[in-house]
Structure 1
Amino acid sequence: MRYLIAETNWDMMTLAQELVTNGTLLTRTDRPEDLEHFARIGQVDLILLAAGQLGRDGVTIDSLRAANPRAPIALVARNTTSEQMATWIMAGADTVIDPRTDHEETLARLQAVARRAHGLGRPVLQYGPLRVDLMHRRAHIGDVRLKLTPKVYELLEFIALRPGRLVTRESLLTHIYGLENEPDPRVFDVYMCNLRSQLAASGGAVDIETARGSGFRFVADDIPDAAIAA
């Protein structure tokens, strides 16, 4: 998954480093006024900012929600009162994190909020014999772990979180590389071929179809209709 984070103080910079170490993709900015722009143009699964930034530089929960209605919003704040917490939640925040919370708990809480926006209660995607472990960033077909590089794993995770739906090449590249320089298109084709060759072990139960000129679609025998329509 990719998070958008505003690194406006030491707590936010420390959290960003913890997320990078865990393998989470980040779109980072030290200019809170740019959050709305990045939220609108980027493929992000969660928006993270310090609660004290709200109301400054035009940053509000409403403006971020308008820029990207699908992305949950997580606030980071120390020493919050119950009244403050209730105010932020009622205003539209999805969770409030104390930066002193245990590292593992923080990562788990943030991912839980992000994946629930995709309709997932647990950190595992299961399609026939394919199992994708979102927390540990790995995938298995049956009992065999797939040998995925970080980039190929991100490709699988992004498309498997959107089963049955058309995913454009541009959206995939934006998710994997953020707003940084994208690779030569041939490199991306190598990633896709690598992933397809490994999914072939499912015997056709899962696959990635090419919609020529449009993008790609993750297909499986057991995708619920509700997931396709989401």
Structure 2
Amino acid sequence: MRILFAEDKATSARLLLPTLKKAGLSVDLARSGRNTIEMLRNYDYGIAVIDLHLPDMDGYTVVNSLRLLKISTPVIILSSLDQPEAKIRAFSMGADDYLTKPFDPAELVARIQAILRRSSGFAHPVIQVAELKLDLNSHTVMVHDQPVHLTCKEFSILELLVLRKGMAQSKETFLNHLYGGRDEPDIKIIDVFICKLRKKLQAAGASDHLISTVWGKGYILNDPKTKMFSLPSGPEIPLRAPIPEQQFQAAGD
């Protein structure tokens, strides 16, 4: 899952990268409040982790601006302030969580994973769709209780499909999810990833219609109990967003 980290001290962000990478998270870095808002307007992130003290505006203003713009991306505020008033203000502005410095990186990861699950309507890290089981914490996939070995990018695609089950995801969304506007290959690579993913899942006994093609939209993960048919894909016009100031890729293939 791709997340945005708003922190003007690059060193602080880099210290967290190994833990975030191990958890299967890809991180883009924003150095200012203005850059944070712009990136969240143009890119699809699972969550934003925002330091309370940014050089051009505080985290309260950033969160409030996001909510006024109808941007509903979950937000975790990081701050050295441990006063109840600071936390109450953050929550009243629209923050979803508040973590006091110093903190254990593993705790941040646990909070991120919990919010990602809740925002997608799941309370448990193990998500089951028919015969498919996906563990968001251990990054394991099972079909009929047998493990399916996926590459990092294949898992990222399946994770996005599972968390947004029933909603068609465009190829552009997958491309942004995997590469974040940085060194992106041709958009047809998504068809290749989906094809390989389908073959691995079907070889393990998953339904042929677990992942369906939606013409002009992309791909969708559906429950085979609901009868759905794959349709031939048509041409898509990719929409490009500006490349962010700086990005850190914390998960790769």
TM-score range, shorter chain: 0.7 to 0.9
- Give 1:173 deviation, angstroms: 0.9
Using CA pairs below 8 Å that are at least 6 residues apart, which structure has the higher relative contact order? 2
* Structure 1 gap segments, 5+ residues each: 224-230
Note the 1:67-86 alignment, pairs <5 A.
Answer: 67=69, 69-86=71-88
Deviations 1:30-61 (A, max 9, x none): 23321111101111010111112397189521
Aligned to 2:112: 110
The answer to whether the 8 A contact 1:54-1:60 is kept is no
Separation (CA, whole Å) in 2 of partners of 1:96 and 1:222: 40
Distance 2:169 2:181 in 1: 18
Aligned residue number for residue 94 of structure 1 = 96
Q: Distance in 2 between matches of 1:207 and 1:174?
A: 23
Q: Give me the TM-score of the superposition, normalised by structure 2.
A: 0.79
Q: Does 1:208 align with 2:211?
A: yes
Q: Which runs of 5+ in 2 are unaligned?
A: 227-253
Matches within 5 A, 1:143-162: 143-162=145-164
Report what 2:37 is aligned to. 36
Which amino acid in structure 2 is aligned with residue 197 of structure 1?
K
Q: CA deviation at 1:112?
A: 0.7
CA separation of 1:87 and 1:185: change in aligned 2, threshold 3 A? closer
Query: Cα offset for 1:66?
Result: 4.1
Bigger fraction of residues in helix? 1
8 A contact 2:32–2:54 mirrored in 1: no
1:61 aligns with 2:63: yes
- Higher mean C-alpha displacement, 59-68 vs 119-128: 59-68
- Is contact 1:12-1:49 (8 Å) kept? no
Partner-residue secondary structure (3-state), 1:53: coil
User: Residue 180 of structure 1 corresponds to which residue in structure 2?
Assistant: 182
| Alignment match, 1:227 | none
Kindly state the Cα deviation for residue 222 of structure 1 after the two structures are TM-superposed: 5.2
Q: Percent identity?
A: 28
Cα-Cα RMSD: 2.3
Which residue is 1:226 aligned to? none
Partner of 2:220: 217
AA aligned opposite 1:56: M
For residue 67 of structure 1, report the CA deviation from its aligned partner.
4.6
Q: Alpha carbons of 1:3 and 1:81: their partners in 2 closer, same or farther (altered >3 Å)?
A: same
Is residue 30 of structure 2 the alignment partner of residue 5 of structure 1? no
User: Whole-Å Cα distance in 2 between the matches of residues 125 and 67 of structure 1?
Assistant: 31
Match of 1:142 among 141, 144, 152: 144
Deviations 1:84-125, CA, capped at 9 Å, x for gaps = 111111221111112422232221112111221111111121
Distance of 2:70 and 2:128 partners within structure 1? 27
Q: Distance in 2 between matches of 1:222 and 1:125?
A: 16
Contact 2:33–2:62 under 8 Å retained in 1: no
> Which deviates more, 156-165 or 61-70?
61-70
